[in-house]
Amino acid sequence: MSYSVATFFNQDSWNKYGSNWLRLANSHSESGYVVGNSLDDNAKNKINDFGYKYLEIVPRNNDSMDMFWTLAYQLEKNENCLWSSATLPNKGSFDESFDVCCKLSDRTIDDLVNSVINLYDRAAIRHSLKDIMFKTHGAYLSAQTIYGKSDFWHGFVGCGNYLYEKQYLDPGADNSDLIFNFFMVFASVLRLQIMQ
């Protein structure tokens, strides 16, 4: 089974990691996406030279989720995609037959739910994540490296859009790990593998 690879760069992170990420990512996949925030023409040309598609970030709710939203709505139906941070192309092994594969985060529950605005909602989300994710995995899921099928990506960003539109979350905080964990609690039909 083949899959695309994807990441996000701003100009600063591109200057530091762009060329290396492209070379390493290209060894995993022949196709991919780079979501960017106002990258210069040299960067866009290099991305195109590698055969990857440049996507300018679409501002919606929050930068930490807008990059995922921008990617999700470019994926073809049934397309599989591996997202990795700009500093770290995939360094884990995973089984592509799973619906979602990811690594674990070292974030605490208090750090994850800190951006939930209402204290009642914060307590409820905290309980759900601790009761399901922590009890199952001994840690929380990380959104830095995620492999998923297109249906997963649409569900993940849809969950984030809902939480922002209903004003559950502080729009200035990085909520990607929180939203990912919250979505996976309720998307229990998706088969999850933790990458080694």
| pLDDT tens figures, 8-43 | 999 999 999 999 999 888 887 778 999 999 999 999
Residue 163 structure tokens: 């939480």
- Tell me the C-alpha distance between 147 and 95, whole Å: 9
Which pLDDT value is given to residue 82? Answer: 92
CATH number at residue 180: 3.90.550.10
How many distinct structural domains can be found in the chain? 1
| Residues 125-184: tens digit of each pLDDT | 999 999 999 999 999 999 999 999 999 999 999 999 999 999 999 999 999 999 999 999
User: Whole domain around residue 188: which residue ranges?
Assistant: 4-194
User: In angstroms, what CA-CA distances link 3 with 29, 74, 123?
Assistant: 7, 14, 38
Closest by Cα among 129, 139, 137 to 184: 129
Q: What is the pTM of this model?
A: 0.94
Copy the structure tokens of residue 9: 């760069």
